[in-house]
Chain A
Amino acid sequence: MRALAAYLAAAALAALPALADPGDVEKGQKLFQQCKSCHQIGAGATNRSGPHLNGLFGRKAAGLDGFRYSKSFQRAGAGGLEWHAETLDTFLENPRAMTSGTRMSYRGLKNAKDRTHLIAFLRQYSDDPANIPEADPTAQGIDHDLDPAILALVGDPEYGAYLSGECTTCHQAAGGDDGIPSITLWPEDQFVVAMHAYKTKKRNHPVMQMIAGRLGDEEIAALAAYFKDLEN
C-alpha cells in the first residue's frame, strides 16, 4: 500500500512538464485535426455543431450569443467559469469532470504535453499573446489525472443510500432538473471524477465544493454506487 502510494507520487511528479513550457503551436495544430469536424477557428470561423473558438481565452463558458449550449455549460458559465489556459487544461483532460452534461462527445486528451500544444495553438486565435503575455499565458498543462486507485474503489450502495440524504435535499431523487441538475443514473466513473473535481475546486460551485470537500474517497464511491442505479 505504502509502496504503491510512493510509486503514484513519483509518477505524478514525472508527469509534470518543464515549467513555463509554452507548448508547440505546430504540434497543437495537428492535434486540432480531431476537433475540426465540430469546431471552426481562424478567419471566417462560425458556429457549427460546436461553437467557434476565436477569442476563446477570457470568454465565459457558454458565452457566445447564438449558440445553443447544454444546460450543463450554461450553469458552468453562470457559475463563473471562464476559459483560460488552466481551465482549458482541466476541461480538455476530461470534459465531463467539469461539465457533466456537455454535448461534446470528445472523451478528453489524457497526455498533459499534448494539451499544452493544443492550448498553445488555440491561444493564437485569441488576442495576440505577445501583447498581453501575463494576462493569459499559454501555460503548460498540469496533470489532473485522478489516482486510479480512487477510481477503482468499490462503493457500498447501502452507505451511499444513507449519504444520499445530503444530496436529495436539493437534487430530486425522482430526477427532476429545474435549476439544479439531476444526478440519478449517472455513470459511476463520471460521478467520481466530477465529485473529485469539486473537492479539489477545479469545478466551480460553492455548495458543491463544500459538500464534496468533506466527502472521503470511500464516501464518493458509495454515492456513485447508489446513484448509478437510482430510478424513480
Chain B
Amino acid sequence: MTLNRRTFLSTSAVAAATLAAPMVRAQGKPRVVVIGGGAGGATAARYIAKDSKGDIDTTLIEPTRTYYTCFFSNLYLGGFKTIDEIGHSYGGLAAAGVNVLHDWAVGVDRDAKTVTLAGGGTLNYDKLILSPGIDFVDMAVPGWDISAQNAMPHAYKAGSQTELLKAQLKAMPEGGTFAMVAPPNPYRCPPGPYERVSMVAHYLKLNNPTAKIIVADPKPKFSKMALFQEGWNNHYEGMVDWVGEDFGGGNVSVDHAAMTVTIDDEVTKVDVANVIPAMKAGRIADIAGVTDGNWAPVNAADMSSKMDPDVYVLGDASQQGDMPKSGFSANSQAKVCANAVRGALTGSKVFPAKFSNTCWSLIETNDGVKVGATYEATAEKIAKVDGFISQTGESADVRKATYEESEGWYAGITADMFGAKA
C-alpha cells in the first residue's frame, strides 16, 4: 500500500487550482500592490515576496514608519508593556524583498489597474490587496467626531492615540471617573474594549483606587462576557459599572468641551472619555469601490472582492462571514490570499483555504483568558467549524499559562507579519 501526499493532491486540491491558468505576461514580472501594513497586509506582502522568491514584484504602501500593534496595546495601558515593545519597523519586510513605500494611497482605478499616491506617484498592479483596517462611522456617537479625538481619544488605532489615553489616565484626579463608550457590532477586536476596561482598572487599583469606570455599551452582551465579569468582580470589585443595552447604554451622547457623557438622559461629568465609535472599512476600500455598506464583501475561498477578481480585501475591512475582526484573523486570511495570488500569477500550487483565530485577553496580572475557533470556506462565506473558550473558575495556574501563551503568540505573530528581527 502506498499513500503519498503527491498522488493524493493530484486528484483533489490541485485539480481545482489548475483550472485557472496562470496569468500570461508579455513583459516583466507580475506586480502585486498591498495597501496597509498591519496584520493582513504585512503578512500578505511578506508571504508573497518570500514564497515567490523574487518572481513577483511586491509593493507595500503604508504611511507609518513604525507600526504599533492594536493587539497588546491595552497591556501598554495597564503597564505590562512599553510602547516600544508594541512598535515594529518595516525593515524585515524590505529585507524579505518587499518594496516598502511610506506613503498614502489616495486613489484606485480598477479599469486602468493603478493606485495613486498622496506623494504624487502612480503604481500599476496585476493584483491589488487592500488591508486598510478600520475607520469610524461619522456621527455614530452624537457630539463626537474625529476633531474631538484629542479631548476624547478612541485609542482604537494604536500609537499616539494610545499614548494620549495613557497620559489622560495617569492625570486623572483621585476618585475620578473614566468613561468608555463601547462600539456596536461588528467592530475590530470583539474582546478589546473589555480587556481595556480590565487594564484601566488594573492601573487605577494600583494608583487611584477610589476611581470609577463607567462603560456605556449599545450591546446586550459582549465577547467573553462571563469571563470578564467574573474577573472584574474578583479583582476590581465595585470599580466597574457596565451599562448595557437594557439599561440605555446605546442611548449615548458626549460633549467634549464640557467633558460630559450622557447615558439614557443622565449626564455624567467625567475625567477621561474613551469614545470608540461604530466602525467601517478603511476609507481606501470605499474609494476603490469595493464596499457594500460599511464593509467590503469577499469570496471565502481566496479573499477576493465580490466586486473585482483582481482586488482582495483582508482583515477588519472585509466582510467574510463568521471570523471576528482580529489581527489573528487578518494574518490567517493573508496567508490564504497570498497562496491564491501567487498561484494566479505564477502558476504555483494553490491549496484549499483554511482559517483559524484565537483571541487572548488579560484581565489582571497573570489572569489570561482566550477564545478561538477554526473556519472553512463555503460558497457563501467563511464558516465556523469548531471553537473553544476559557472557562469561568479556572485555576490560577491555567490562567497564568494562558497569559504566558499570549506572550508567545505575540512574538510569533509579529515575526510572521514583519519577519524575524534582525
To the question of whether A and B form a pair in one complex, the answer is yes
Q: Is A169 a contact partner of B328 (Cβ separation < 8 A)?
A: yes
Q: Which of B5, B335, B395 contacts A218 (CB 8 A)?
A: B5
Query: Please, how many angstroms separate the alpha-carbon atoms of A4 and B407 in the complex?
Result: 46
Contact with A along B337-353 (1 / 0, CB 8 A): 00100000000010100
Query: Please, how many angstroms separate the alpha-carbon atoms of A177 and B405 in the complex?
Result: 10
Within 8 A of A (CB), among B358-406: 358, 370, 372-374, 385-388, 395, 397-398, 400-401, 404-406
Known: A159-B351, A210-B388, A211-B356. A169 touches B398 (CB 8 A): no
Q: Is B351 a contact partner of A80 (Cβ separation < 8 A)?
A: no
Residues of B within 8 A of A15 (CB): none
Within 8 A of B (CB), among A60-92: 75, 77-80
Query: Please, how many angstroms separate the alpha-carbon atoms of A169 and B412 in the complex?
Result: 5
Chain A CB within 8 A of B411 CB: yes
Q: Which of B212-220, B284-292, B316-324, B413-421 contacts A (4 or more CB under 8 A)?
A: B413-421
Chain A CB within 8 A of B24 CB: no
Q: Is B4 a contact partner of A154 (Cβ separation < 8 A)?
A: yes
| B248, chain A: closest CB distance, angstroms | 37
| A192, chain B: closest CB distance, angstroms | 13
Chain A CB within 8 A of B47 CB: yes
Q: Is B408 a contact partner of A210 (Cβ separation < 8 A)?
A: no
| A222, chain B: closest CB distance, angstroms | 5
Query: Please, how many angstroms separate the alpha-carbon atoms of A178 and B406 in the complex?
Result: 10
Q: Is B416 a contact partner of A168 (Cβ separation < 8 A)?
A: yes
Q: Is B404 a contact partner of A173 (Cβ separation < 8 A)?
A: no
Q: Which residue of A lies closest to B349 (CB)?
A: A158
Query: Please, how many angstroms separate the alpha-carbon atoms of A170 and B332 in the complex?
Result: 11
Query: Please, how many angstroms separate the alpha-carbon atoms of A78 and B405 in the complex?
Result: 11
Size class of the A contact interface (CB-based, 8 Å)? 35 or more
Residues of B within 8 A of A162 (CB): 335, 339, 349, 351
Q: Is B1 a contact partner of A170 (Cβ separation < 8 A)?
A: no
| A77, chain B: closest CB distance, angstroms | 7
| B81, chain A: closest CB distance, angstroms | 14
Residues of A within 8 A of B332 (CB): 165-166, 169
Known: A155-B5, A210-B372. 14 other contacts (CB 8 A): A80-B398, A149-B3, A154-B3, A162-B335, A162-B339, A165-B332, A168-B412, A177-B408, A179-B404, A179-B407, A180-B412, A210-B386, A214-B385, A218-B8
Known: A165-B332, A210-B386. A171 touches B400 (CB 8 A): no
Q: Which 8 pairs, one residue from A and one from B, show the smallest C-beta to C-beta distance?
A: A179-B408, A180-B408, A156-B5, A78-B401, A165-B335, A179-B404, A206-B388, A174-B420
Chain B CB within 8 A of A232 CB: yes
Q: Which residue of B lies closest to A225 (CB)?
A: B5
Q: Is B412 a contact partner of A171 (Cβ separation < 8 A)?
A: yes
Q: Is B356 a contact partner of A166 (Cβ separation < 8 A)?
A: yes
Residues of A within 8 A of B1 (CB): 1, 4, 149
Chain B CB within 8 A of A22 CB: no
Known: A77-B397, A207-B370. A213 touches B349 (CB 8 A): no
Q: Which residue of A lies closest to B358 (CB)?
A: A207
Within 8 A of A (CB), among B49-64: 51
Q: Which of A173, A207, A225 contacts B416 (CB 8 A)?
A: A173
Query: Please, how many angstroms separate the alpha-carbon atoms of A225 and B411 in the complex?
Result: 24
Chain A CB within 8 A of B167 CB: no
Query: Please, how many angstroms separate the alpha-carbon atoms of A103 and B358 in the complex?
Result: 30
- Chain B residues proximal to chain A, CB less than 8 Å: 1, 3-6, 8-9, 47, 51, 328, 331-332, 335-336, 339, 349, 351, 354, 356, 358, 370, 372-374, 385-388, 395, 397-398, 400-401, 404-409, 411-413, 415-416, 420
Residues of A within 8 A of B336 (CB): 165
Q: Is B331 a contact partner of A169 (Cβ separation < 8 A)?
A: yes
Q: Is B351 a contact partner of A163 (Cβ separation < 8 A)?
A: yes
| A185, chain B: closest CB distance, angstroms | 16
Q: Which residue of A lies closest to B420 (CB)?
A: A174
Residues of A within 8 A of B373 (CB): 210
Chain B CB within 8 A of A172 CB: yes
Residues of B within 8 A of A156 (CB): 4-6, 9
Residues of B within 8 A of A221 (CB): 5
Chain B CB within 8 A of A187 CB: no
Residues of A within 8 A of B4 (CB): 153-154, 156
Query: Please, how many angstroms separate the alpha-carbon atoms of A159 and B349 in the complex?
Result: 9
Within 8 A of B (CB), among A124-162: 149, 152-156, 158-159, 161-162
Residues of B within 8 A of A161 (CB): 51
Chain B CB within 8 A of A101 CB: no
Query: Please, how many angstroms separate the alpha-carbon atoms of A78 and B8 in the complex?
Result: 39
Residues of B within 8 A of A210 (CB): 356, 372-374, 386-388
Contact with B along A196-232 (1 / 0, CB 8 A): 0000000000110111011000100110010000001
Query: Please, how many angstroms separate the alpha-carbon atoms of A131 and B6 in the complex?
Result: 57
Residues of A within 8 A of B397 (CB): 77-78
Chain B CB within 8 A of A17 CB: no
Q: List 12 A-B contacts (CB under 8 A).
A: A1-B1, A78-B397, A78-B401, A149-B1, A155-B5, A172-B420, A173-B415, A179-B409, A206-B388, A207-B388, A207-B405, A211-B356
